[in-house]
Chains A and B, each alone.
Chain A
Amino acid sequence: MTELSLNILDIAENSVKAGAPLTEITVKAETAQNLLEIIIKDNGCGMTKEQVDKVIDPFYTTRTTRKVGLGIPFFKESAEAAGGSFFIDSEVGVGTTVKASYELDNIDRMPMGDLTATIHTLVTMHEDMDFLFTYKVNENEFVLDTRELREILGDISFKEYEVSQYIKDYLKENITSVTGEIII
């Protein structure tokens, strides 16, 4: 992966596959603590203890189309290479939480990249699922809750041209504004 937002997309796709009605994606940066945190928490099917132990192994996957599973290892590596840490916890029937932290100014921390594209892709491609996206930089915060959008839109699809463009612009403007001058 070349940007952290791609890791977020990849890990959140696991939540989608786990049938999670709600996936919470939190990106939080605090300059005073030199900390960047990414948390992806879902209420999908969850995993057994044995599976959780195995998912950090690149040679473990539940797929039958190939023999490697690099999503979690990539994400873990991205954090550990940048002075950070990685955490995963899961419970069958409850859900999974994945958390990666980074030193914000670490030279080996990958840039966040196009967070708008990641959230927009998730939201518009999985209309049967809800996403709660929280983006916080120091004291500034932006929250996108698809349940709120759905309440406004009723049965109008997120994929409708104007709606999709609105969501994209809404994300982009707010993410840019919350980021300010900080390099994320």
Chain B
Amino acid sequence: MKSLEELKAIRDKMKNQVGIRSEEENTTRVVVGMATCGIAAGARPVLTAFSDLVQEKGLNNVTVTQTGCIGLCMYEPIVEVYEPGKEKVTYVKMTAEKAAEVVNLHLAGGTVVSKYTIEK
């Protein structure tokens, strides 16, 4: 069983590492809608998938955050991607599986996965 002692060990290990967070202006923001509409439509596993995969792949220039309802409840779960200097990309009716594709192709690869964006 995990104990808080283990967390202390993680802390001691991390204290010796120098953070390599990128500058604010180079950061891509992934924003998941987490109001009642989003949560009921399945946003929780989508948010978890983005957080986990971004961390696993070491995408230090990407932050994953959440927001409320943007008024398009029928398209939830909605994920918005804000890349510096580019237009916002809105993914709709997301799932954890689609999130993995977006992480690989868009966040890591730089290509918008247009089959999941709102225009389609």
**Residues on A facing B (Cβ under 8 Å):** 1, 6, 9-10, 13, 17, 63, 65-66, 69-71, 74, 114, 117-118, 120-121, 124-125, 148-149, 152-154, 156, 159-164, 166, 169-170, 173-174, 177
Contact = CB atoms under 8 A, between A and B. Distances in A.
Contact of B51 (A114, A124, A148): A124
The 10 closest A-B pairs by CB, nearest first: A65-B71, A161-B55, A71-B36, A170-B2, A65-B69, A10-B39, A70-B36, A162-B10, A10-B36, A152-B7
Contacts of A148: 4
B13, B37, B44 interface centre (most CB from chain A within 10 Å): B44
A146 to B, nearest CB: 12
Interface residues of B, number: 32
Contact of A166 (B2, B34, B51, B65): B2
Contacts of A173: 1-2
A66 to B, nearest CB: 6
Contacts, number: 88
A152 B8 contact: yes
B18 interface: no
Contact of A121 (B11, B13, B44, B55): B44
Interface of B: 1-2, 4, 6-8, 10-11, 13-15, 34-37, 39-40, 44-45, 47-48, 51-52, 55-56, 65-66, 68-71, 73
A118 B1 CA distance: 20
A38 to B, nearest CB: 15
Given A71-B36, A164-B55, A121 B2 contact: no
A65, A71, A174 interface centre (most CB from chain B within 10 Å): A65
A174 B39 contact: no
29 contacts: A9-B39, A9-B44, A17-B68, A63-B68, A65-B68, A65-B70, A66-B69, A66-B71, A71-B36, A74-B36, A117-B44, A117-B45, A121-B44, A121-B48, A124-B51, A149-B4, A152-B7, A153-B7, A153-B11, A159-B55, A162-B10, A163-B7, A163-B10, A164-B51, A164-B52, A166-B2, A169-B2, A173-B1, A173-B2
B44 A118 contact: yes
A148 B8 CA distance: 11
